[in-house]
Structure 1
Amino acid sequence: MAYRDEKLDEEKVFKDPVHRYVHVRDRVIWDLIGTREFQRLRRVKQLGTTYLTFHGAEHSRFSHSLGVYEIVRRILENFRDHKDWNEDERLLSLCAALLHDLGHGPFSHSFEKAFRLDHEDYTQSILLGDTEVNRVLSGVEEGFPKKVADVINKTYTDKLVVSLISSQIDADRMDYLQRDAYFTGVSYGHFDMERILRVMRPLEDQVAIKESGMHAVEDYIMSRYQMYWQIYFHPVTRSAEVILSKILKRAKELYKNGYEFELKPVHFFSFFEEAPSLEEYLDLDENVVMYYFQMWIREKDPILSDLCERFVNRKLFKYIEFNPNLQMNAWRELYDLFEEAGVDPRFYLEVDSSSDLPYDFYRPGEEGERLPIHLLQPDGGLKELSRLSEIVESISGKKRTDHKLYFPADTVEQISDEKTKQRIKGILYGREEQ
């Protein structure tokens, strides 16, 4: 029997709090899960710094990746005998679902921003490079790793396969909304996934939803909207991300200036030079990063030491509503006042903005095009979701943006020059204390 068709002697299952069980019967999938690169995802949190806001959010990208795989496996069970589904794409779809997040680094987005990296580039490198994952995929057939990479990169010729893990209603989102809601303890992210899976239908280049399932899709769209604003953009989580980014920025600056670290950050050297090899990238996980942060609390540099103390022991920056587009003069004055007070504004003042577009219909030629969700009519025709759903229509194409200014309130209170302190507090809090 060919490797691609080989089954395990007995089905393996992972007990999962969201899907109850994750089922594995294919030898290829089981071998992929056992690779070094996939096991590394156990040491990368799915939600980065969110655990400092919602203490249950300790789940990993490993569990999320298994969840996405399981949802695609269930979808394909339903597609099996459908005329528009090519069963030859089954294993490819399962592998892409399992491996879609393979390149995420520690504290993903803050880390990428600090070192000008893109996790998608590393996903491609792991799939196509000298890795255990590549060796497993290469055993399926010649060129199979490239096929998986193309699906994840959204360049694969079969757009139906791509849409399973990358569209406005895909297995990736369906898993992380439910999983993140479960581990943060909120109710916003729950929707009737079983119903959605039952009414999904494969078409030539996308998945459509039977019109009778519209209300389940509405629930899904609203869940996504609420999760972004209540969980993903939570201002306390963003405060932790700001401090994390400042730590990495400070450490990099010290390294560039020839500072002698008490604990040499050997795992970061190539990142400071913005040229990490794949091996160096894979060696850096959140356990390693947190070890350095704990050790850097003892560094002589007061800024690095203070920022690490804040992050490790959750002494986060405070925040206020602050729109830099409307309050530029206040921002400039605050920046100057912080400098006068001896508080480096590069590391202790930050405006952070978040924005989200919960659902959008297709607008040709616009940047960031999104393929719409189509509802399959009883006569076989298609209608775009927001044309039939008043709920979705009300939020379609509406981008919401939120701005916050982050600062260390305790440090402001310790400023010795009373006049400077009062002026800073006047700008931050809208009043000057007498």
Structure 2
Amino acid sequence: MKTGNKLKIFNDPIYGFITIPNSDIFDLIEHKYFQRLRRISQMGLSYLVYPGAHHTRFHHAIGCMHLMQKAVNVLRFKEVIISEEEERALYIAILLHDIGHGPFSHAMEDSIVNDISHEDISMRFMQKLNIEFNGSLTLAIKIFKGNHERPFLCELISSQFDMDRADYLKRDSFYTGVAEGNINSERLITMLNVVNDRLVVEEKGIYSVEKFLVARRFMYWQVYLHKTGLVAEQLLTRVLKRAKELSREGAKLDASNSLSFFLRNEITTNNFDDAVLETFSRLDDTDIISAMKAWQNHEDFVLSHLCKMIINRDLLKIKLKNKPIKLTTLDKHINALKATYKITDDEAKYFVFIDEISNQAYQSRIQKIKILQKTGKVVDITKASDQFSIKALSKPVTKYYICYPKT
């Protein structure tokens, strides 16, 4: 059994020194489920576009916990009552909010398992840890689910402006080098307050909120929805799809035991039990990369070529349009590929496909960012702001794309 000092300090490139608030948090960070996040990329395959984007979910979770500590201190200074139990639960909930992510984060969400989100898996991990830690995560789970009677506690975990977004925008901006996403997280947190148990931003922080929303829009178009990143993510999901098909047909595929389990079995919400959770906890980016390196030499044309494209960064060509792609254009590229490689229609569709992306920086219909005016009145940011662009940011923008092999 490990013993020693549990009040450790992390040296973070974004915030400087980050302290672990108590020994309970230290024990969670030390747990193998959380340590796995060191092996899960925060931004999937975005490093194929931005070479510096190799930071992990571990970095992000620790950063979120640090910002939550700042938020608790700010709100208490403004005489918002937060008990020690609620404070501890906030730290646990934000620390574990992404613990359910699979390899390469979002890229694998619909490939490893079906009809179950990373949030659902995070909840299952938290419930398992709650048993292991003698029920000490119960309040954190309640807040994570959004069921707490004080809504602002839940909003600090998940809302239009929460500690999750406050960290990942700044962190992803730093590691990608995209300066437009560099928000002033600490300034925003300093402007937080609570009215009627709901989270609000004081009026003097309105320009910081505007910058936050604009930065979010830029980061989505320039980074998260970058066309090269889209292609890489699509190829990765198709690699797993093809591997699943071949595995279930009896083909031998070199893979780790954990990955092989998910290739052979159809895992959904209904059969995602504790045994599956334990297998999932042993799955990370390394399993996928190792498998793709081996599968490059597989006899299957589709699997081998998809893997080579990712490993060697020789990706598909992509074209973005403001209008839906014509089916005649799709068929033209499919037929050309079939003629060149003598493959079937189904095989060709792994390399030629259409899809769409949408960007909405401020989802006002789901949840609003409330501004506390000097008069004491609370209004939505779109009404408080004198910037027309903020209203425009609440409207979704959709783009359409087609991917096909380079000639």
Q: Do they superpose with TM above 0.5? A: yes
Can you list the C-alpha shifts for 1:259-286, whole angstroms capped at 9, x where unaligned?
Answer: 133x255333332312360111011100
Can you list the C-alpha shifts for 1:325-369, whole angstroms capped at 9, x where unaligned?
Answer: 3512322343344334424322111223211211133xxxxxxx4
Q: Which residues of structure 2 form unaligned runs of 5+? A: none
> How far apart, CA to CA, are the structure 2 residues paired with 1:97 and 1:370?
21
The partner residue of 1:402 within 393, 399, 402 is 399
2:363 is aligned to 360
Q: Which residues of structure 1 form unaligned runs of 5+? A: 1-7, 362-368, 414-434
**CA spacing shift, 1:248–1:387, aligned 2, 3 Å:** same
> How far apart, CA to CA, are the structure 2 residues paired with 1:236 and 1:192?
28
SS of residue paired to 1:390: coil
Equivalent pair of 1:353/1:403 in contact (CA under 8 Å): yes
In terms of Rg, which structure is larger? 1
Q: Please, what TM-score do these two structures have when normalized by structure 1? A: 0.84
> How far apart, CA to CA, are the structure 1 residues paired with 2:367 and 2:320?
33
Q: Please, what TM-score do these two structures have when normalized by structure 2? A: 0.90
Shift, 1:43, TM fit: 0.2
Residue 232 of structure 2 is aligned to residue 250 of structure 1: no
> How far apart, CA to CA, are the structure 2 residues paired with 1:182 and 1:9?
31
Equivalent pair of 1:322/1:351 in contact (CA under 8 Å): no
> How does 1:15-414 map onto structure 2 within 5 Å?
15-87=11-83, 88-114=85-111, 115-116=113-114, 117-129=116-128, 131=129, 134-136=131-133, 138=134, 142=135, 144-261=136-253, 263=254, 266-272=257-263, 273-275=265-267, 277-322=276-321, 325=324, 327-341=326-340, 342-343=342-343, 344-361=347-364, 369-391=365-387, 392-409=389-406, 413=407
* RMSD across aligned positions (CA): 2.0
> How far apart, CA to CA, are the structure 1 residues paired with 2:131 and 2:292?
33
> How far apart, CA to CA, are the structure 2 residues paired with 1:77 and 1:399?
35
> How far apart, CA to CA, are the structure 2 residues paired with 1:235 and 1:70?
32
> How far apart, CA to CA, are the structure 2 residues paired with 1:10 and 1:304?
46
Shift, 1:11, TM fit: 4.2
> How far apart, CA to CA, are the structure 1 residues paired with 2:249 and 2:200?
56
Equivalent pair of 2:236/2:310 in contact (CA under 8 Å): yes
Shift, 1:205, TM fit: 3.2
> How far apart, CA to CA, are the structure 2 residues paired with 1:97 and 1:67?
10
Q: Using CA pairs below 8 Å that are at least 6 residues apart, which structure has the higher relative contact order?
A: 2
Identity among equivalent pairs (%): 29
